[in-house]
Structure 1
Amino acid sequence: MKLILASNSPRRRQLLTDLGVPYTVRLQEVDESFPAHLQRAEVAEYLAAHKASAYRADLAPEEVVLTADTIVCLDNDVLNKPADATEAIQMLTRLQGRAHDVFTGVCLLRGDGQQVVFSDQTRVYFRSLSRSEIEHYVHKYTPLDKAGAYGAQDWIGMVAVTRLEGSYFNVMGLPVHRVWDELVKLGGNEWLPVA
């Protein structure tokens, strides 16, 4: 079997590389809007499945495409990627001093049509941050490609995240433990790295 990663995220690429699963990257532009009635994990799963559907017609029988979408939820508000630095500062101002949830939805779609969609949740606790800390992070690290306007692996993760309940890798953008379990169900030991 051949794994196709349908993501431009350097973090997802690094996590799969570290897992030792060979993959190739294949990208397509996909609309990332979602129905307004969906909430929390439903949004992440919907977007992952929606992205995978764009690859359905092009998959060979032995290929498996992996799509994922990470969202940050503060209460019931979904904080996706900020449009600009001002919105990033607003998001981080809302998150500071509070706990929020990170959901990553994943879809694995085989060329034979078999599909599995799942999500993982991590609760993230932020300490209170000053306006200057928030502005420093946004202007130096430009987190416009990150849900909730932050990356846990960045400077702000080191200074703001006080506690996690769940998978750290899920916050980075891929619940690797769950992905591995599902890949094994789809392809058995075929995914084990060659020594």
Structure 2
Amino acid sequence: MAFELILASGSPRRKMLLEQAGYTFQVEVSDVPEPEPEPGVPAEEYVTTLAWRKARAVALRRGRGWILGADTTCTVDGVCLNKPVDRADAERMIRLQEGREVPVMTGICLYHAETHQWLGAVERSWCRFRTLSDSERTAYLDSLAWRGKAGAYGLQDNDPIVSLVSGSWSNVVGLPLERFQTLWAWANALSQRG
């Protein structure tokens, strides 16, 4: 028996990953605000809390199905690098990451709308950000490839400035499929038990 899956995200990358993996699902954007984390809040807590809030918001509206919420961030020295708000913010993020290995974390939550049971996890991958010349940095910023992407880059776009060092490629893109597959199996087992 198949159980209804709803993606609580308007991210085209998360949608693409689920489609490519063969999942059947609907999309309903949560519209949950994504404020910057409070000082001292660990990145893992930040992304898992946001994933839960997104999933729960859609679950309360729909009243049925398993709702998938997710949130991704990069961190440098404990500072979360979310989606840049403008070019200057993107440049700030790029300069912070240049020449370093940077952790990328995605929190995911599967929230069952009928019972309010939920399953959550956080996945961590590491990316290597190469040092750029001034002209390379300017060209990258001019390309606008940084828009809408945590840390100001997209591994899925073959951005020449970053490479995966370890962990899940799909996690860096925005949804750790391997971890989601495990949670989805647990969710289905919970549903079958009634």
Common fold: TM-score over 0.5: yes
Whether 1:78 and 2:80 are equivalent positions in the alignment is yes
State how far apart, in whole Å, the 2-side matches of 1:138 and 1:183 are.
38
1:58 and 2:42 correspond:
no
Partner of residue 49, structure 1 = 52
Structure 2 counterpart of 1:176, one-letter code? L
1:139 corresponding residue in structure 2: 142
How do residues 32-181 of structure 1 correspond to structure 2 at under 5 angstroms?
32-33=34-35, 34-61=37-64, 63-111=65-113, 112-156=115-159, 159-181=160-182
Residue 82 of structure 1 contacts residue 147 of structure 1 at CA under 8 Å; is this kept in 2?
A: yes
Secondary structure of the structure 2 residue equivalent to 1:72? strand
Is the 8 Å Cα contact of residues 85 and 142 (structure 1) preserved in structure 2?
A: no
Counterparts of 1:122 and 1:179, CA distance in 2: 15
CA distance in 2, matches of 1:35, 1:94: 19
The letter of the residue matching 1:127 is: R
Residues in 2 aligned to 1:11 and 1:93: alpha-carbon distance in whole angstroms: 25
Does structure 2 retain, via aligned residues, the 8 Å contact 1:71–1:78?
yes
The amino acid that maps onto 1:7 is S
SS in 2 for 1:182: helix
Residue 15 of structure 2 is aligned to residue 18 of structure 1: no
SS of the residue 1:119 aligns to: strand
Instruction: Give a deviation string over 1:34-62, Cα, whole Å, max 9, x none.
Output: 4433112111111111212212322334x
- Percent identical pairs in the alignment equals 35
The TM-score with structure 2 as length reference comes to 0.89
Matching residue of 1:193:
none
Show structure 1 runs of 5+ residues with no match.
191-195
Deviates more, 1:29-38 or 1:90-99: 29-38
The 3-state SS of whatever aligns with 1:153 is helix
Q: Note the alpha carbon deviations across 1:3-22, whole angstroms, 9 max, x for none.
A: 10111111101100011010
Superposed CA RMSD in Å reads 1.7
How many pairs were matched up? 186
- Is the 1:126–1:163 contact (alpha carbons within 8 Å) kept by the matching residues of 2? no
Secondary structure (helix, strand or coil) at the match of 1:54 reads helix
Amino acid aligned to 1:182: L
When normalised by structure 1's length, the TM-score is: 0.89
